[in-house]
């Protein structure tokens, strides 16, 4: 008896599910605009965004050219957006903006399109073409005369984040040469980063690695080439401390400078003194690297 009741309950549940499914599918294939319109909003309000999106899409042809046209098209995009299908939603909003520039939903559609583009960008290590596309779209949106301060603020924050990724990618690409110990190429790469973007957010690190690249390149050179190359390091060092005298890298570079001066015959101190100073900042350097590692992990976690 117990098993019979269980079987009957399961069968009833199956029939109810099948009934709901066939009812939804029938509605999806129906030409009853009023019924579909009401059902689509019902699903939307219940946060069943995938079903709502399908219904809005299915009636978009039926409502084309009618007073419901822009509403259906907008909520089709909004349903996909809420469902987190940002690629499809961006396509929806782009089409909507083109077709209904004067709709009451137009400004929200423009802003949501930007958010879709932003959410479709990648971490700095990956392809940054979507980042450039999003930055261009944000610039165009802000230039269009938007007055909503909250939206402007969000756009500025998105731009700052995206530009940080581009700066980070350029910096890390140059640092690859340094990690590979190709110090000549590293110095050229770091200088090119600042040549292309003098305001790179990693400017201090770039100037530091520029100097360290020239120092290591000189240190590893044939003796006949060292003097000229240590002089290049001296130029990089003086440029660095002239711009950032209180840098976290100052003590390390000061020691490298004295080593270079010793190699040039201009420093009377002993190697032991330099070694002692180098040990002093070695612990600080490890702490800086640990902090940078944590910062990188946090940045990767936040990146989309």
- Flag whether pLDDT at 268 surpasses 80: no
Listing DSSP states for 229-289 in one string gives HHHHHHHHHHHHHHH-TT-TTHHHHHHHHHHHHHHTT---S-HHHHHHHHHHHHHHHHHHH
Among the listed ranges 104-108, 216-220, 228-232, 291-295, which one has the minimum average pLDDT value? Answer: 291-295
Q: Is the pLDDT of residue 102 over 50?
A: yes
What does the pLDDT look like over 204-222, one tens digit per residue? Answer: 999 999 999 999 999 999 9
CATH number assigned to the domain comprising residue 221:
1.25.40.10
Q: What is the pLDDT, as a whole number, of residue 183?
A: 97
pLDDT value at position 9? 45
Mean pLDDT of 135-139: 97
| 109 is a domain residue | no
pLDDT for 290 equals 72
The answer to whether position 275 is within a domain reads yes
Residue 143 included in any domain: no
Look-up of token digits 């009401």: 38
Residue 62's pLDDT band (cuts 50, 70, 90)? very high
Q: Which domain holds residue 198?
A: 170-304
Q: Residue 203: pLDDT above 50?
A: yes
In a domain, 47, yes or no: no
Q: Quick check: is 41 in a domain?
A: no
Domain count, the chain: 1
What is the pLDDT at residue 239? 97
pTM of structure: 0.80
Comparing 14 with 36, the larger pLDDT belongs to 36
Angle between helices 203-219 and 223-243 (to 10 degrees): 160
Mean pLDDT of 159-165: 97
Residue 70 domain flag: no
Q: Is 299 among the domain residues? A: yes
The pLDDT value given to residue 266: 79
Lowest mean pLDDT among 3-7, 39-43, 75-79: 3-7
Q: Give the C-alpha separation, 177 to 150, whole Å.
A: 42
Residue 298 domain-assigned?
yes
Which band of pLDDT confidence, cut at 50, 70 and 90, is reported for residue 103?
A: very high
Q: What average pLDDT does range 2-29 have in this prediction?
A: 58
Instruction: Name the region of 136 (left: φ>0; alpha: ψ -120 to 50; beta: rest).
Output: alpha
Q: Is the pLDDT of residue 27 over 60?
A: yes
* 175 has a pLDDT exceeding 60: yes
Place of tokens 């958010």: 115
**Max CA separation in the chain (angstroms):** 102
């Amino acid at each position: 008896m117990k098993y019979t009741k269980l079987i009957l309950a399961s069968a009833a549940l199956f029939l109810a599910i099948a009934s709901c499914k066939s009812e939804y599918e029938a509605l999806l294939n129906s030409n009853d605009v009023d019924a579909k319109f009401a059902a689509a909003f019902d699903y939307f309000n219940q946060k069943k965004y995938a079903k709502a999106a399908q219904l809005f899409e299915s009636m978009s042809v039926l409502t084309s050219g009618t007073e419901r046209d822009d509403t259906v098209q907008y909520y089709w995009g909004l349903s996909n957006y809420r469902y987190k299908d940002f690629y499809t939603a961006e396509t929806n909003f782009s089409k909507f903006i083109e077709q209904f520039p004067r709709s009451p939903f137009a400004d929200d559609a423009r802003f949501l399109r930007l958010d879709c583009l932003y959410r479709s960008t990648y971490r700095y290590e990956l392809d940054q073409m979507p980042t450039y596309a999003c930055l261009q779209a944000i610039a165009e949106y802000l230039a269009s005369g938007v007055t909503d301060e909250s939206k402007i603020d969000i756009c500025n924050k998105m731009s700052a984040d995206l530009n940080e990724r581009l700066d980070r990618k350029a910096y890390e690409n140059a640092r690859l040469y340094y990690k590979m110990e190709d110090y000549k190429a590293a110095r050229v790469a770091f200088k090119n980063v600042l040549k292309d973007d003098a305001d790179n957010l990693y400017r201090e690190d770039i100037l530091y690695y520029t100097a360290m690249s020239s120092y290591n390149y000189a240190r590893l050179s044939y003796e006949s080439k060292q003097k000229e190359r240590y002089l290049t390091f001296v130029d990089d060092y003086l440029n660095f401390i002239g711009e950032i005298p209180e840098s976290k890298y100052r003590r390390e570079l000061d020691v490298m400078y004295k080593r270079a001066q010793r190699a040039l015959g201009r420093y009377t101190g002993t190697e032991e003194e330099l070694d002692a100073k180098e040990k002093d900042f070695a612990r600080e350097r490890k702490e800086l690297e640990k902090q940078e590692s944590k910062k990188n992990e946090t940045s990767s976690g936040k990146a989309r």
